[in-house]
Each structure stands twice: as structure tokens, then as C-alpha cells.
Structure 1
Amino acid sequence: MKTAFDRLNIKPFLLNAMTEQGFKKPTDIQERVVPGILNGQDIIGQSQTGSGKTLAFLLPVLSKIDPERNEIQAVITAPTRELAQQIFDEYEKLVPYFPEDQQVRAKTVVGGTDRKRMADRLKNAPHLIIGTPGRIKDLVKNEGISIFSATTLIVDEADQMLDMGFIEDVDQVASRMANEIQMLVFSATIPEKLQPFLKKYMNNPRHVHVSPEHVTAKEIKHVLIPLKHRDKKKTLIEVAKAYNPYLCLIFVNTKRTADEVAEAMLAEGLNVERIHGDVPPRERKSIMKRVQKAEFQYVVATDLAARGIDIKGISHIINFELPTDLDYYIHRTGRTGRAGMSGIAATIYEPSDQLAIQKLQSRNIHFVQEELKNGEWVEAQVRVKKAAVPKGKSGVSLSKPKKVKPGYKKKIAEEKRKIEKRQNRNKR
């Protein structure tokens, strides 16, 4: 029986895997990049978490690999070991569908593992390696693995690679691969600083941008919660308790704020954990396992630490702070409302956030304003200047401006004249 995946021209056993795993049709990013990847084209895929981008590169790459060639044919780089492991987990879900004569071997290459033991593991060369660029580079440099035969390089979360200073490692990995390589770059954003790297390796790449409104999510309600000069941590705790979520991801902008917010929530008896760059790798791995088992109700995270990590069952997102780069707002909120579920993305905002809110409105983010009154969520009567939004699109709910009382302007003018007279007398 034919399915919507047939038109992607991936191998029959992968089509079967999609059907058996309950996928009814390809996502927008899959539909638009898989044929180009199969045809050997360089691709820049711009989309957020939840768009199905991992399968968008895994399905065609696995289709292209020749199982009879006992050598590394493709390399997938990810900025964190957690993300590398997630990609490997997606590969493992497909393994049971590989026919006996078409087995594609993959191995992870990440930090935190003894180099010699890892090199021993890789003596029987896999067809595909998935890992962090620094560890792959080290193993290649020390002749633990050879990637001269690899003709496909996938760079996942490229903007995070840039932020974390890993692009140079990716560059060195690419330089040790085959002379002619197909490069596939996936990222939520494509910063200008990334362009020199892209131009160095990519040949007339096709740029596919899946906008947020096309990302698969049932419904995300974007809520603005006014701070009103109250203590921000206390307000967060009040909001968190009122939502009583299944799992809530709380975003902050710095590691220090993550620690402070988590400590404040712990002091209130909330079941919370934190994820940021200063948490040791082994502890992060343990935390992530416990998060996946839903042992915490709240997780406080920075953008870089949480980037690319797929945490299932997130019912709520709370922005303790709006990100400086508003593209991260899209990435943050895209973590809820997934797999056919609805979600809430709440932002605790201050007057200084007004411009950022306007910019988000102009991107078709439609907010409602709410606040807690006697434990109930009600529409907030807070004045926020309206941003320029497309016709027919509603923005932030606004309270009506107050009417000016009769004679008010005249009174102001009289007061102004008195002040001017006083100033003139003082000058004499």
C-alpha cells in the first residue's frame, strides 16, 4: 500500500519503518530536503525543534550508504553529547527494519569515554559515526579512526556550534574527509558569522527555511504575564504553582540566573532541576535520564544547554527572561505543543521587554495577556503599545486608553505658563 512517504524515494525498509512507527506523512522539512539530499545536493535546512529535521537527514543518508563498503561513509556532528545520543537513538529505532543484507552500522563518538576504549570499539569501521566535533577531530588526529572515505557531512545545530566555539573543530573534521563532500547544515538560525564556513565547503547550497507556523504542533498558547514591579522570582514561583504542569521548562539567559532561580524554587519546595554549561557532563547525563523519566516537574535551563535536547512531555514553557536573540523565543516555545498535544508558553514581562514583544508580534506570534487573581487566570488590563502586525492578525490584548477629562488640556497649559514665568524671574 502506498503512503505519503513513497514520493521521498527512500529505501523500502525505511518506508516500512515510517509506517510501522505511525508516521502518516512527511513533515515540511522532510518533504523539502530529502529528495535534494538523495540527489547529492548541498542543503541548508533552517527549522526549529519539533520539525522532524533529524529524520530529514537520517532517512536519506541511511538510504545512500552502501552496506558492502566496510568504511565510514557519513559523519554527523552535534554540539553536545546529549544531542549526539538523541540522533543515535533515532538511528536505533530504525535498525530493526534493516534487512539482513542491508545492515548499516553506526557508532557514537563523544567525550566522557576513554579514547583507547573508543578507538578499539571503532576498529571494525562503522558506516556512520555520530558525535561531537572535538572528539571526532581528536580520534582522527590520533589515527583512532579514518574518515578519508566519508563523502557526507551533517552539521546539526550549526548556530550553537558557532556560539560554543566548535566551528573550527567541524572545519578540521571536514578537511580530513574526502576531497568532494556533500555538506548538510541544519540550524534554527543562520548567523552572518557562519557564512565564511558555509562558503568554504558548500557548493551552491539549497536553502530551505521552514517558518514556525509550518512546524508540527497542535496548539501553543502564548501568554504574557505582567510583572507589575513585583519580585520576579516570587512571581515565577506563583505562576509555576498555579500552572501545576506535567513538565515545565523555565528559560533564563545566564548560568548564574539559572542557579538563582532553581535555588529559589527549591526553597519553596518545588521539584526542580537545572541544566547549564557549568553542570559537569556526568551529572548532566544523570539529570537528563531523570528528566526523561519525569522525575522533575520543573527544569531551569539556559538556551545553549537545552538546545537540541528533546525532552518529551513538556506541557509548559516559562520565559523568566526573554532571549536577546528573538529567534531563540521560537526555539524555546517550539518544545511544547508537540506530538498532537497543546501547550502553554508564558513570558513574565517588564516594561523594558516592550520592544521585543512588538518584534515577536510582527512575526505573527499572537499573545494574550493574563494575570493571577485569587488563584484564577484572568485577562490582564495592562497597557502595552501595539506592534505593527499584518492586517487581520490580532496582537497583544490591549486595554482601552483612558478618556481625557474636559478642561484637562487647558489646565496643563496654565501650569506650563506659570512655570515659564517663574523661570524668567529667576533669570533676572
Structure 2
Amino acid sequence: MTDTELPAYPMDRAAKCPFDPPPQLQALQAETPITRVQLADGATPWLVTGYADQKKALSDPRVSSDANRPGYPTGMKYETAEPPAEEDKGPSIGFILMDDPEHARLRRMVTAPFMVKRIEAMSPAVQRIVDDLLDEMLAGPKPVDLVEAFALPVPSLVISELLGVPYGDHEFFQEQSKLIINRFTSEADRRGAMGALVGYLAKLMGEKMQAPGDDLLSGLVPRIEGGEISVVDAAQIGMLLLIAGHETTANMIALGTLALLEHPDQLKLLQETDDPKLIASASEELLRFLHITHSGRRRVALEDIEIGGQVVRAGEGLIMANDIGNRDPRVFADPDRLDLTREGRNHVAFGFGVHQCLGQPLARMELQVVYGTLYKRIPTLALAGDIADVPFKHDASVYGVYELPVTW
């Protein structure tokens, strides 16, 4: 195919199937494990649709996450004829777009707070946050926007506490986050939002260097004082964790709730159980079924490699469409069916390989607390209106809903 005949990526979802990957993406998976697509900037990377091939590529050291390498499929349309020079690109989003050994060096600095035992110890505090927000919601008027009243405050409060970021500043950092993850934000506005957030966090790091507390950002102070990282490095790590820590979980809470309201037989399972194993499997199945990271995980080949029977040349871009990978019928039986009893923990919603999501223990714990509490506390929870009127985040790199009006 010529470039003008290549399918554009990302693709549009079907209006009547908002929980499913785009039909064109489903068709491509059925046809071929790997194919060329075209991005907004004219680049034509390879799109990997099969689950096994995605895991293979994501764990291959010959595949790079470094967005500064030639051929990396950003899809960014720059406002000038040429991409900005390195010194003009502004702050980067932490270690997520780096390769080892630098990626591993920086990631190790913040691994300890996300260890499973530490996250489990946070569960009672998260339960109190959930209960308090539900108390406020039940005492207030209805209908209510579940995103504003519950889905966004829960992870924002949790990640603010973990990082040591004042929750009183949540409107500021949420607004910058929206700009950063919106696919249609201009180059200048995205750099401006990242600069504002890094500047805010750098100032906060300065305060913590004077009076460190018992939080993740304060834990970076000895690294700064020892010359391992700069204040700006620490701020960029903080930006990554702050954005990832509230955007993803907030969208999973709201979108997961809407999916359950549209699947009442599955919702009933959660309303009637106290079994932590079922609540955990429900969380995993919703992560698999919805997969909110719907712009693909992006990489570039460092050497010629073979994926899905296709030779990918050095310097060619790769996109792992994990949303369709999680619907691969070769791995998940009847993959388009939401089944909370499914053993689906082997999904790729958190990615795979060395870049697998650092915060997945925290996300899992928060979702299990929410999914195990919300529908029992409000058993008559219902959508206030028609699903056709719900504003979905088709324009963001993290899928979800902007608003979710509910009543009871």
C-alpha cells in the first residue's frame, strides 16, 4: 500500500460500542499480526496487533523506548517545519521514555514506595478516603457527576499523599495533566503545561530539601544532595508519577462503573460478594476489557528484528496496540465478553517488560477498594440519562469519560 492508503492511527471507536477497541483495529488483528499505519505527522510505523508479538517486542532489548531516537513514532505535528531542537523541547516526562541503564537507575530510586507490602499497608487509609467521599456524595444532591465527586478525588488524594504534593493544589495539576495527555494539544501548549508542572514540583522539591517529610519526593532529597540527580530530574520523576497516579485510576473507576452499569449481571456479582478473590478478578477483567491506554505503547527498533513474520528494520517505529492485544481470541476465550470471574490477570493493560507500570500495585489496590465498596454502598446506582450523551475521552491518550452523571 502507498502511504495514502495506509490506515490512520489512532482509529475511531464505534459510537454504539464505546467499551470496545475500534472496529478497524479488530479487523486488522484478524487479518495480520503486524501492519503499517499512518500517524498524524505522516510517519508510517508498524502496528503490532497480536498479544504474543506485543509481549515479545516489549521485552526485546533491541526495541527502544527513547522518544529522542530517529524513527520513534510520536505522531506529533510540530508547529514549525522542523521538530524543536533538543534544548528547546522543554522538560521530559521522567524515565518512562528512556532506555536502560538510565531508565533502571532512575526507576530504582522510586521503586520502594510501590512494593506490594507497602501498598497493602495503605489499604485502610484508601478505604477511609473512599468511605468519606461516598458519605459526602450520599448526603448531597443528585444526580451527581461521579467523576468530579468520586472517581477523580480518590486517586488524586492517594497519589498526593504518597508523593507529598498538597492536595489543595489538585485543580492546578489536574488541569496541566489534561493538557499533557490530550492528543490534540498543540506542541507549544503541551510544553507549556509540562514546564508549569515541573516548575511547581521543582519549587516543592526545594521546600522538601529544607524540611523533608515522610513521602516519596522527600525520599529523593538524599539523591539530589548526593549528586545522583538534579532538582529538575526529581521534578520530572514527580510529574510522571503524579500524572500516571491519578489520571489512569480515575478513568478506570469511572469507565469501569459505566461498563458495569451497562452489564447488570456482572454488576450484581460485585454487589453480592465479600470475596476478595472475586473483587480482585473483577478488577483484572475490567482492566483487560477496557484497557484505557488506547494510543498504543510506542517504540523504535535499534536493530533489524522479526515480529509476526515481518522484518522490522533498524530505525523503524513500532506501536503495540495493547487494547486489541487484550482482546486476542488466541489468549482470551470470548474476548469481547465482560466476565468478572475470568482468570485474566495475564492481560497487558500495564504493559510488559522492563517498562511495565511501576504503580500497578497501587492501581490494583485502589480499584479493588473502590469496586468492592461503591456498588454495595449504593446498590441502586444508575446512570442519570442516556449513555449516548456521556462524553467519552476520544481525544485523550488515556480513555475514559469526562463526566458520568449518576443517581440512586
TM-score range, shorter chain: under 0.3
Decide which structure has greater strand share. Answer: 1
- TM-score, normalised via structure 1 length: 0.24
Look at both structures and tell me which one has the larger radius of gyration over its CA atoms.
1
- TM-score, normalised via structure 2 length: 0.25
Higher relative contact order (CA 8 A, sep 6+): 2
Decide which structure has greater helix share. Answer: 2
